[in-house]
């Protein structure tokens, strides 16, 4: 997403990831060259979640990732409520 936003506002995480894969596929030749030169690439995804969720990927999506070659790093940040200040009894 161009800027942080709730995925439920416009699209799902899976839709966004599939769009990113489509963009990476346009650069398949470059990614192959990177791998052939013993370099590496990484698709880094940061998720900020308010609740538990599950991502399921079809084998075809995983096969595409394998062909494109980037490592995938999923970074999940749970929304942890800030502790409430203790009220002092006077």
Q: Are 47 and 76 in contact (CB under 8 A)?
A: yes
Assigned token pair, 9: 């506002």
- What is the per-residue pLDDT for 18? 86
Q: Could you tell me the mean pLDDT of each successive run of 10 residues in the chain, 90 residues long?
A: 57 81 92 90 85 85 90 86 67
**Nearest 10 degrees: Cα torsion 39, 47, 3, 61:** 60
pTM, 2 dp: 0.65
């Amino acid at each position: 997403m161009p800027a942080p936003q709730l995925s439920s506002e416009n699209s799902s995480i899976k839709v966004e990831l599939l769009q990113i894969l489509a963009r990476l596929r346009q650069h398949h030749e470059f990614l192959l060259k990177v791998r052939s030169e013993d370099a590496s690439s990484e698709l880094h995804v940061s998720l900020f979640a308010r609740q538990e969720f599950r991502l399921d990927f079809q084998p075809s999506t995983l096969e595409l990732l394998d062909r494109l070659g980037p490592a995938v790093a999923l970074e999940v940040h749970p929304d942890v409520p800030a502790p409430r200040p203790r009220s002092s009894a006077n």
